[in-house]
Structure 1
Amino acid sequence: MGISVRRGPVVSAIAFVALAGMAAPAHAQMTSAIPPLEDPVVVNTEPPVEPEESGLVEDPADPEPLPEETGPPSKPGDKPSAEYCRPSRIYTPTSKGGQYHKAVGATNSNYNGTSRTARSTFTSEVTGEVGVGVTAGLETSIDVMVAKIEAKYEVNLTVKLTAKLGNSIAVDTPAKKTTNAKYGVYRLKHTGTSYVIYSNCNTSTKKKVTSYTPLKVGWYLWES
Structure 2
Amino acid sequence: MRITARRTLLLPSTALLLCTALAGPALADDETPSQASSVSAQTDDSIVNTAPPEEPEEDVTDVPDIDVNKEPEGPGEPKPLPGDMPAAVDCAPAHGVYIPTKKGRQYHRAVGPKNSNYNGTSRTAKSTFTSEVTGEVGVSVSTKLDVSIGAFLAKVKEKFEVTVSAKITAKMGNSISVDTPSHKTTHAVYGVWRLKTTGTTYWLHANCTNTPHKNVVSYSPYRVGWYLWES
TM range (shorter): 0.7 to 0.9
Q: Percent identity?
A: 56
Letter in 2 for 1:58: D
Deviations 1:167-214 (A, max 9, x none): 110000001100000100000000111111111221001001111111
The reply on whether 1:72 has 2:78 as its aligned counterpart is: yes
> What TM-score, normalized to structure 1?
0.78
Answer yes or no: is the 8 Å Cα contact 1:71–1:202 preserved in 2.
no
- Any residues of structure 2 matched to 1:115-194 within 5 Å, and which? 115-194=122-201
Larger CA Rg, structure 1 vs 2: 1
CA distance in 1, matches of 2:156, 2:87: 37
> SS at 1:83's partner residue?
coil
Q: Are 1:101 and 2:103 counterparts?
A: no
Give the equivalent residue in structure 2 for 1:52: 57
Compare the two structures and name the one with the higher helix fraction: 1
2:72–2:148 CA contact under 8 A, matched in 1: no
- C-alpha distance 219-81 of structure 1, shift in aligned 2 (>3 A): closer
Which blocks of at least 5 consecutive residues in structure 2 are unaligned? 1-30, 34-43
Alignment-mate amino acid for residue 81 of structure 2: K
- Give the SS at the match of 1:181: strand
Counterpart of 2:218? 211
Question: Is 1:190–1:211's contact at 8 Å kept on the other side of the alignment?
Answer: yes
The residue type paired with residue 48 of structure 1 is P
Does the aligned pair in 2 maintain the 1:146–1:158 contact within 8 Å?
A: yes
Q: CA deviation at 1:81?
A: 4.5
CA RMSD of aligned residues (A): 1.8
Question: Equivalents in 1 of 2:32, 2:209: separation in Å?
Answer: 53
The alignment covers a number of residue pairs equal to 185
